[in-house]
Chain A
Amino acid sequence: MLAIHALPFEEPAVMGPEAARRPAARATAEEAGALFEAYGERVRRYIAFRVRGIEEAEDLAADVFRRLLSGPIPPDEAARPAWLFKVAHNAVVDFYRRRRPILSLVGLAERPDDAPSLPDRAIRDERVRAVDGALGTLAGSQRTAVYLRFYEDLPYEDIATIMGMPAVTVRSHVHRGLRRIAAELGEADR
């Protein structure tokens, strides 16, 4: 016997078309809440992937969400996820720029991040340990590109928007990063 009941499940708020028509403006409470709910965890992960220090990572995440609440956001809902990651990415770049003031921007991108490695208890496979070690040697731009591509499953065009470079350059970073990781995995197998 199939009894049809009213749908009791709450569905997330869907932003209406009026929001999309607005020019860039500050997020409404609903928009900020929806963006935070949908992407807060992912942005936090991205920062935690790239920055070692707790306090610094805290500050960067707070900066990102302060920016979400205090400045204009893209009127196009579809553009907001990439925009949010771009804000986070820029916050990390600025963080390293502040720490390494004597290096050029190119030099910054080519240096490995001062990023955390996984705790031992989270590593249940020696291949993961090898990857973890290899990630620590990647240049910041490679680490970022690999993360956004394979941890966030973003298309290259979106990553290009986030990193502010052509998609072909992003692909090059991903390719080089994977080659280095493959080399580490090969070493681990020997």
Chain B
Amino acid sequence: MSGGQRQPGEMDVLELAEAVAAGQLTRTQAEATLRERHAGDAGALAADRAELDSLVAAIGGVRRHAAAFREASDRHSAETVTAGGVSVDPRPVGGSGVVLRPGRGQRNRWAAPALLAAAAVVVVAVVVGSNLATAPVAGSPSPASSGIAVASPSVSSNPSASGAPSPIATTSPSVAPTAVPEVTAGSTAAPGLPSIPNAPLPGAPIVTYWTLDTETSMMISTWAPDGSAPAFTFSVTTWADPDRSGGNAIDRRVVVSPGGQRVVVAETEFSPSARARLRVFGTDGSVLWTDPSPTGTPDLVWSPDGLTLVIGSQPATWKIVTFGSRGAAATVKTRTFPGQAYRVLGFSKSGAILYGWDTQGEAEWWETPFQVPVTGGSVTPITRFSGKAEPIAIANGTTPTSEVTPADSSSLLQPGVDPKTYRVLDLGGASGSGGWEIRDGAVVTPLLLTGSPSLAWAADGDIARLNNYTSNAGNGLVLGTVAASHPVVSTGPAFTTAGGDYRYQLVGVRGATALLGLTSHTSDGVTAGVDELVAVDLTTASSAVLVTASAGLTGLHVAGWINGG
């Protein structure tokens, strides 16, 4: 009765609406069915047509709500809320699991998910015995949970500076040499994490990251896994988060340009006041540009040459900011798409074309992509990313194809476009196969994987595969490469770690280098970032580790790659 097996002529309006919302039928096909059904009865046709449209809109709204609900639920579950009043003591009791102890903070109703999972762990562990103590018992991320786009809203703007680019620092940035990462040779581990071999990785791209040093200061720095000195380190002011311990009331998005010349910092405060701020900094901490009309939780992507930044917001307005060399003034071009639910994907390799997708009907980014010239002109829908004269480029950004971990680290999966073949590695979704798949336009190849691994395109069309994420790395992590044609066959050596009470995630892959984030459970509920970063050469399984003297108030957050294109 789901509608999937029935012909359109047999469907009622609800089934038609579900089929349209899932992309199984076009709106035109559904209307044709209604016309056929109500031939000669204009009144009934009009009524059903209105009903169809309202149901499709409602389903789209419900899907968006589902995504937001899952995100809120997953975030609090993963963080095992502490400030919300509940914490989990990871110390084993009788070798069988974990115990709960009450926290001291004010209870938060959204702490329930974390507590529920933990409570169930206790029940299972106690009853079934120690053989489950090392099994991954907390919920694995649902593939569907990150596959549905949530449109970014406009937040009441709070212009804080003129639109004119200015080299004058309005935020009192300061160089912070004391925060240079501490990298040592041999085996390295942040507290609570397993020891991991640490050696220079020649040729690995530089990683940019940021930490929240104080409530009002962010440090932005780089880590070179090849052992080189940091390319830059500077600090900027940030808004204090009134609810950081309760789950973060401020969304921060930091993205470095691919050449490492500029860093964009976008902040959105949700409560108590709704406000937004976006600034672009030079690597000396000077403010190069401040958005005079910032919007909340924007899409951010740099062009491959790092000269142009696109800022996307909803309703669809894209600002395209181009920075001149040697401190020349930035120019801003605005593209608006009235009434459209468009979001940004990224630039083409030349920077002349922008790719985006239409989120209408709860479409996934790989289902309704389009391209549009940067300089003007209309949107052209496309069916595939391959075969383009101006193919989509690898860059740094916050969008699904730009290969920087989301600002809130909510996604542990890495769908994307293969930089070699431009095929899409995606999570399926409502209208897809429901699991990892490779698609090139209408040609879809389900990967039929079990265990919810994290995947990302690696070099030469291979796929980097991290064994299924759990909240407890009881058996350690296994990272390697597999063939895209047969994703259970390894094409390189495996990188592994010892088990323990920690979480791990695949932050991203650039070329032959994969970046992992590890977090000790002692940091749960404290950090949205990670305790340490591990760069892994996928061809040799050798690793370099970044353990900083301090991970700040919220851990290490990745802001993109430099020289990794």
Interface residues of A (CB under 8 A from B): 2-12, 29, 32-33, 36-37, 40-42, 44-45, 47-49, 52-54, 57-58, 61-62, 65-66, 69-70, 116, 118-128, 130-132, 135, 146, 150-151, 153, 155-157, 167, 171, 174-175, 178-179, 181-183, 185-186
Count, chain B residues at interface, CB 8 A: 81
With A131-B62, A171-B1 given, name 9 new contacts (CB 8 A).
A4-B491, A5-B491, A33-B128, A37-B139, A116-B109, A128-B61, A128-B64, A178-B58, A185-B61
Contact flags B90-124 to A (C-beta < 8 A → 1, else 0): 00000000000000000111111101110110011
Chain B contacts to A: CB under 8 angstroms: 1-2, 14, 17, 54-55, 57-59, 61-66, 68-73, 77, 107-113, 115-117, 119-120, 123-124, 127-129, 131-132, 135-140, 142, 144, 150-153, 243, 247-249, 270-271, 296-297, 314, 430, 450-451, 453, 465, 467-468, 475, 478, 480, 483, 488-494, 496
Contact of A124 among B73, B150, B480, B494 (CB under 8 A): B150
Would you call A57 and B140 a contact (CB within 8 A)?
A: no
Chain B CB count within 10 A is highest, among A49, A62, A119, for: A119
CB-defined contacts of A130 to chain B, threshold 8 Å: 61
Q: Give the distance to chain A from B300, nearest Cβ to Cβ, in Å.
A: 15
Measured CB to CB, the closest approach of chain A to B484, in angstroms, equals 12
- In the complex formed, the residue of B with least CB distance to A160 is B1
A8, B480: Cβ atoms under 8 Å?
yes
CB atoms of A118 and B2 under 8 A apart: no
With a cutoff of 8 Å between Cβ atoms, the chain B residues found around residue A33 in the complex are: 124, 128, 132, 135, 137
Complex CA–CA separation, A178 to B467 (angstroms): 38
The one of A9, A61, A118 that contacts B116, using a Cβ cutoff of 8 Å = A61
Contacts of A116 in B (CB 8 A): 109-110
Q: Which residues of A contact B453 (CB under 8 A)?
A: 9
In the complex, the answer to whether A47 meets B116 with C-beta atoms within 8 Å is yes
Q: When chains A and B are docked, how far (Å) is the Cα of A21 from the Cα of B123? A: 27
Task: Determine the chain A residues whose CB is within 8 A of the CB of B151 once the complex forms.
Answer: 124-125, 127
Known: A128-B64, A179-B58, A186-B54. A7 touches B110 (CB 8 A): no
Q: How far is the CB of A162 from chain B (nearest CB, A)?
A: 14
Which residue of chain B lies nearest to A6 when distances are taken between CB atoms in the complex?
A: B490
**Contact: B116 with A44, CB < 8 Å?**
yes
Give me 22 A-to-B residue pairs in the complex whose CB atoms sit less than 8 angstroms apart, sorted by A's number.
A4-B489, A10-B478, A36-B124, A37-B139, A40-B117, A40-B139, A41-B77, A42-B139, A53-B109, A54-B111, A69-B128, A118-B69, A121-B271, A124-B297, A128-B64, A132-B65, A153-B144, A178-B17, A178-B54, A179-B54, A182-B58, A186-B54
Contact of B72 among A7, A118, A127, A183 (CB under 8 A): A118
The residue among A36, A62, A65 with the most chain B CB atoms within 10 A of its own CB is A36
Contact across chains for A126 and B115 when beta carbons are under 8 A apart: no
Residues B115 and A54 in contact, CB atoms below 8 Å apart: yes
Residue contact A7 to B489, C-beta cutoff 8 Å: yes
Most buried by A among B2, B63, B124: B124
Most chain B CB inside 10 Å of its own CB: which residue of A8, A33, A122: A122
Do residues A185 and B66 form an inter-chain contact, with CB atoms below 8 A?
no
Of all chain A residues, the one with the shortest Cβ separation from B250 is A121
Residues of chain A lying within 8 A (CB to CB) of residue B115: 54, 58
Compute how far the CA of A5 lies from the CA of B57 in the bound complex, rounded to whole angstroms.
Answer: 49
A128 contacts B137, CB within 8 Å? Answer: no
